[in-house]
Chain A
Amino acid sequence: MLPQIPYSFYFALSAMLFTIGAIGVITRRNAIVVFMCLELMLNGVNLAFIAAGNALNSLDGVIFVFFVMTVAAAEAAVGLAIFVMIFRLKGTVNVDQVNLLKG
């Protein structure tokens, strides 16, 4: 067994990835890049779950990450289908121009 890195480093790295993804979601205007930053946030949270599961000698972290990955895959399929439909309707995937509900 290799010596374990203290878990606070893993949580700090998870927070950093989550923050970078969140800034990407807020800042970028291309819907597909926004979606990729969302996946980055999900991966940050996965890292926190695995680290906590390892710290508590439990498999619950691994099982939860399994289900997060499943949900992310289903969300990717449906979300990208919606992006394709939006592109067919408006000719762009710029999130600033999807404003049909704007009053």
Chain B
Amino acid sequence: MIATAFSWLVFLSAALVAVVASVLMVTRRNPVHSALWLIVTFFSLGILYLSLNAQFIAVAQVIVYAGAIMMLILFVIMLIHLEKEPEQAKKVSGAKIIGSFITIILFLEIIAAVLAFQVTGRKGTFTPEVLARVGDVKAVGTALYGKYLFPFEIASILLLIGIVGAVVLSKRRKD
């Protein structure tokens, strides 16, 4: 009884913070404010991942997304030294209205599919009890270096390509 209430309290508060922070992120004029609200969203998503027994991904979310990617974005905002978006005319173009309307229809379709659908499929072997005994990080590490070794190595090459590309693209031409 207390455990159920606690689960619901954690889920509802994290979900509410995530949705409110994401709406605030989309609507702010100052891009630095948007970046800060996105960091709040990432932290609340980390809490949700913890409630789903994915400890490794929760920590990786905070380290990679809220730590590295948002820092990169904030540095680029600083380099581009934008002020607030100068909204010359507050005309809301028809294309934005139609686009938002179609996106909301997509959202309703997804909700209809979610409500009409149970997660089917052959259940695997990593129940929460097994993961609590083995350790989530150990299980993920065994999978990454065992069954998914090839995609893991390709991901490292992908990151190398990203690094080299970012350095090459940012160099000032000597002309």
A residues whose Cβ falls under 8 Å from a Cβ of B: 1-5, 7-13, 15-24, 26-30, 32-33, 35-37, 39-40, 43, 46-47, 50-63, 65-67, 69-78, 80-85, 87, 93
Contacts and interface: CB of A to CB of B under 8 A. Distances in A.
B111 A1 contact: no
A27 B51 contact: no
A50 B26 contact: no
Interface of B: 3-4, 6-8, 11, 15, 18-19, 22-23, 25-26, 31, 34-35, 38, 41-42, 45, 48-49, 51-54, 56-57, 60-61, 64-65, 68-69, 72-73, 76-77, 79-80, 82, 85, 96, 99-100, 103-104, 106-107, 110-111, 114-115, 119, 121-129, 132, 136, 139-140, 143-144, 148, 151, 155, 158-159, 161-163, 165-166, 169-170
Contact of B119 (A55, A70, A72): A55
Given A23-B26, A39-B38, A50-B52, A84 B85 contact: no
B26 A77 contact: no
Contact of B158 (A4, A53, A74, A76): A74
A26 B155 CA distance: 30
A20 to B, nearest CB: 5
B79 A56 contact: no
Contacts of B35: 36
Nearest to A72: B69
B41 to A, nearest CB: 7
A14 to B, nearest CB: 8
Contacts of B61: 43, 46, 69
A13 B68 CA distance: 25
Contact of A43 (B42, B85, B103, B148): B42
A20 B19 contact: yes
Contacts of B65: 39, 43, 69, 72
Contact of B45 (A9, A22, A23, A43): A43
Given A16-B19, A30-B31, A76 B82 contact: no
A62 B140 contact: yes
Contacts of A69: 60-61, 64-65
A26 B105 CA distance: 14
20 contacts: A1-B129, A13-B18, A15-B114, A17-B19, A21-B26, A23-B99, A27-B96, A29-B85, A50-B54, A56-B124, A57-B123, A57-B126, A59-B140, A65-B54, A70-B159, A71-B158, A76-B73, A78-B162, A84-B80, A85-B170
